[in-house]
Amino acid sequence: MSNKYNKIAVVGAGAWGTALAQVAAMAGRQVTLWAREAEVVESVNGLHENRLFLPGIALDKGLHATGDLKEVAEADAILMVTPAQHMRRVLEELAPAIAEGTPVMLCAKGVEQSTNYLLTEVLAEAMPQATPAVLSGPSFAAEVARGLPTAVTLACEDEEVAEALGNAIGLPAFRPYYSSDLIGAEIGGAVKNVLAIACGIVDGKKFGDSARAALTTRGFAELARLGLAMGARMETLAGLSGLGDLILTCNSPKSRNMSLGIALGEGKTLEEVMGTRNSVSEGVHSATAVIALARKYDIEMPIAEAVAAIVTAKATVDDTIAALLARPFRAET
């Protein structure tokens, strides 16, 4: 099957990167999946399964894994799925070999902690010759890899590139919806991870469904305030990459960030939870960066502020909850 972007490289072979590589392979593309871990390369190529990060799911036999970044540079389009805090380093390593105008789709969610930059800003500095795009939305890797129906936002300022990328990886069960609002697509994915930790704490404390619904709604108000201040469009924030992703992540223990919050609410320490995981709970790293952005744009985000205080050990879970519940009554909007 021919397409403008027939050769796809996916950088980052965690659960989400592997799922996106599977999608592209099922769409008929020639797919290279880059992994840092040698055991992942061997598992994907030899067993057609990522036993470390996505066990139990058979992968397309045409999917090729590699540990050599030089193979990534040969692709027509690149999907970057490395964690947000490692994105700059990998982009800088790749940049000298990437041709001018190559589409680079950012599929990780988060804010760079050291600079408080969105990942498109990181891309602009580390690989300025790339054409930036963002893929974000309500999606669990295992469900996507199994071919269950999923819809996402694919944002790119160049409409022709956006449509070609969508055609390259789109399937009847994996539906990309186009947008030109990169900031909106990024903000939703970054902030919802922080809010999901808060919703997990609510579940861990057994505060009930009403409390979680209230927290999700007030959390969306925080997300929207920040996004609009940074130039995002409300229709993007209320769409798949904003509200849609928030609903999914704040209502399922399958979410890494919500499950971490549940453990915190049950009394476990952050170190205890993180020590048992081989995957990243990005909300932990993005919390302080989101708060820094809120202060920069003079936006009130009390829920995100509370999460940042908890994950940096500046306040206990119980004290933070008490402070939130003691806030004065006010108008909803």
Q: Report the pLDDT averaged over residues 13-30.
A: 97
Domain boundary among 131, 159, 180: 180
Residue 41 belongs to a domain with what CATH number?
3.40.50.720
- Residue 98 within a domain: yes
Q: Are residue 19 and residue 160 in the same domain, yes or no?
A: yes
Judge whether residue 116 has pLDDT over 50.
Answer: yes
Confidence at residue 319, expressed as pLDDT on a 0 to 100 scale: 93
Q: Are residue 62 and residue 86 in the same domain, yes or no?
A: yes
Domain boundary among 180, 215, 240: 180
- Residue 333 within a domain: no
Residue 272: pLDDT band (50, 70, 90) is confident
Model pTM score = 0.93
- The count of structural domains within the chain is 2
> For every residue of 166-232, which 3-state class applies, written as one string?
HHHHCECCEEEEEECCHHHHHHHHHHHHHHHHHHHHHHHCCCCHHHHHHHHHHHHHHHHHHHHHCCC
Q: Are residue 170 and residue 245 in the same domain, yes or no?
A: no
Judge whether residue 278 has pLDDT over 70.
Answer: no
Q: Are residue 115 and residue 53 in the same domain, yes or no?
A: yes
In this structure, what are the phi and psi dihedrals at residue 145, rounded to the nearest 5 degrees?
Answer: -65, -30
The per-residue pLDDT for range 292-311, each reduced to its tens digit, is 999 999 999 999 999 999 99
Residues 6 or more apart whose CB falls under 8 angstroms from that of 148 comprise 173
Of the candidates 43, 55, 260, 19, the residue with the CA atom closest to the CA atom of residue 143? 19
Q: Are residue 224 and residue 281 in the same domain, yes or no?
A: yes
Confidence at residue 297, expressed as pLDDT on a 0 to 100 scale: 97
- Return the active site residues: 192
Q: Are residue 81 and residue 172 in the same domain, yes or no?
A: yes
Stronger pLDDT, 21 or 253, i.e. the higher one: 21
Domain span at 90: 7-180
Q: Are residue 37 and residue 173 in the same domain, yes or no?
A: yes
- Residue 332 within a domain: no
- Residue 330 within a domain: no
Q: Are residue 162 and residue 35 in the same domain, yes or no?
A: yes
Q: Are residue 203 and residue 153 in the same domain, yes or no?
A: no
- Residue 30 within a domain: yes
Domain boundary among 180, 213, 241: 180
- Residue 172 within a domain: yes
Residue 244 belongs to a domain with what CATH number?
1.10.1040.10
Judge whether residue 1 has pLDDT over 60.
Answer: no
Q: Are residue 124 and residue 210 in the same domain, yes or no?
A: no
Sole residue written with tokens 């990942």: 119
Q: Are residue 93 and residue 28 in the same domain, yes or no?
A: yes
Determine what percent of the chain is predicted with pLDDT higher than 90: 89
Count Cβ atoms below 10 Å from residue 175 Cβ, excluding itself.
Answer: 15
- Residue 70 within a domain: yes
Q: Report the pLDDT averaged over residues 310-318.
A: 93
Q: Are residue 36 and residue 167 in the same domain, yes or no?
A: yes
